[in-house]
């Protein structure tokens, strides 16, 4: 019963770069590969990667320094995490709760399961 809508490539790339930042591949304040370098690396259209970088810039995850390239914002990690938290709550959590409701799982059972998981 899962509704799968795939994100456009440029959004997937933005998420991928966000993943890389979270994993520590690019630390805050450091330079990320240029648009062209990244496009060649992942074999994707230049304009698409450009759009990804622009998107990340608009989300405050990357900063562009004219003449120098794109850099990871100082607070990138927290920005990414808060964006993902919101996305989780609005989509994945909603789906999960929908499934839970249809299977008759009670809120208490859910809380118990989560507590056990966290141990």
Partner 1 sequence: MIEVKDLSIGYSIPGNTPQIFTHSDDYDSSEIVLRGLSLKIESGKVYGLIGRNGVGKTTLLNCISGLIWKNSEKKVFIDGMPFSNGNPNLSSRIFYVTDTTPPIHVRVDKYARKLSIFYPLFSMDCFNECVELFGLNYKEYIDNLSLGQKKMAFLSFAFASNASHIILDEPTNGLDITSMRTLRKLIASNMTDDKTIIISTHHINEISSLLDHIIILNNKNAVFDHSVLETGRVLSFVESDKETDKEKALYSMSSAYGNRMILPNTSGIDSEIDYELLYEAVLDDSNRINSLFK
Binding site for partner 1 (CB under 8 A): 1-12, 36, 39-40, 42-48, 51
CB of 49 to partner 1, least distance (A): 9
CB closer to partner 1, 14 vs 73 = 14
**Shorter beta-carbon distance to partner 1: residue 13 or 62:** 13
* Closest distance of CB 44 from partner 1, Å: 5
Collapsing DSSP to helix, strand or coil, 47 comes out as helix
Q: Name the minimum Å distance from CB 119 to partner 1.
A: 35
DSSP string across 33-62: PPHHHHHHHHT--HHHHHHHHHHHHHTTSE
Q: Cβ closer to partner 1: 40 or 64?
A: 40
Cβ atoms 63, 73 nearer than 8 A:
yes
Region for 116 from its dihedrals, namely left if φ exceeds 0, alpha if ψ lies in -120 to 50, beta otherwise = alpha
């Amino acid at each position: 019963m899962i509704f799968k809508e795939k994100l456009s490539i440029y959004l997937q790339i933005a998420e991928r770069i966000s993943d890389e930042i979270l994993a520590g591949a690019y630390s805050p304040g450091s330079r990320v590969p240029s648009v062209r370098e990244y496009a060649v690396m992942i074999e994707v259209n230049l304009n698409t990667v450009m759009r990804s970088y622009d998107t990340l810039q608009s989300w405050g995850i990357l900063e562009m320094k004219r003449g120098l390239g794109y850099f990871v914002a100082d607070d990138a990690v927290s920005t990414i995490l808060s964006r993902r938290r919101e996305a989780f709550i609005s989509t994945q959590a909603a789906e999960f709760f929908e499934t839970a409701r249809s299977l008759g799982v009670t809120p208490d059972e859910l809380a118990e399961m989560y507590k056990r998981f966290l141990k």
